[in-house]
């Protein structure tokens, strides 16, 4: 079984993946597999543009977890979407030294449920678990993930409405 862990940058994917690895799970980091599919540098957004279709077509399924902000695009058996309240996410990204534009873009994406919406377009509703990492403890999040992949807890998503955090357009 292949499980995806996805979410906006800063929601806790790497920390969750580290804990899963510590517990003995195989974890593949999507950024490592996508590097060769970068087709263009986007210096303004401080990122690379990936040929997503080519990456997905060449991706070899793993028995374990795939972690990364594009993992939800892969043909995973189950997908875990990590979420974070936008004001806290902004603080996390500022601590990482992200540029203001990149912070704004990611905070807006989080407030608009972009990763969740993309996931719902690809995966069956019963195969998605959304976890709010705003104030959650990593081991507790991983316990929920383990319960979900063992199918001890049901799919759950769509409970976070952070549209109030969208900044007014000027």
Give the CATH number of the domain where residue 106 resides: 3.40.50.300
For residue 170, tell me if it sits in a domain: no
Q: Is the pTM of this model over 0.75?
A: yes
Banded model confidence at residue 169, pLDDT cuts 50, 70, 90:
low
Domain membership of residue 18 as a residue range:
2-165
pLDDT at 44: 66
For residue 156, tell me if it sits in a domain: yes
Total domain count, the chain = 1
- Secondary structure, 3-state, the chain: CEEEEEECCCCCHHHHHHHHHHCCCCEEEHHHHHHHHEEEEECCCCEEEECHHHHHHHCCCCCEEEECCCHHHCCCCEEEEEECCHHHHHHHHHHCCCCHHHHHHHHHHHHCCHHHHHHHHHCCHHHEEEEECCCCCHHHHHHHHHHHHCCCCCCECCCCCCHHHCCCCC
For residue 38, tell me if it sits in a domain: yes
pLDDT tens digits, 90-114: 999 999 999 998 999 999 999 999 9
């Amino acid at each position: 079984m292949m499980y995806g862990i996805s979410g906006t940058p800063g929601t806790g994917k790497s920390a969750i993946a580290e804990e899963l690895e510590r517990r003995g799970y195989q974890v593949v980091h999507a950024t490592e597999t996508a590097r060769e599919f970068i087709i263009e540098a986007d210096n303004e957004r401080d990122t690379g543009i990936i040929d997503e279709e080519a990456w997905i077509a060449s991706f070899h399924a793993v028995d374990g977890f795939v972690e990364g902000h594009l993992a939800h695009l892969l043909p995973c058996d189950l997908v875990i979407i990590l979420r974070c309240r936008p004001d806290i996410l902004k603080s996390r990204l500022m601590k990482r030294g992200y540029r203001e534009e990149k912070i704004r873009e990611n905070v807006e994406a989080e407030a608009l449920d972009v990763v969740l919406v993309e996931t719902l377009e690809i995966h069956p509703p019963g195969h998605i678990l959304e976890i709010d990492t705003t104030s959650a403890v990593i081991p507790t999040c991983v316990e929920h993930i383990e319960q979900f992949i063992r199918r001890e807890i049901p799919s759950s998503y769509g409970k976070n409405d952070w549209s109030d955090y969208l900044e007014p357009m000027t």
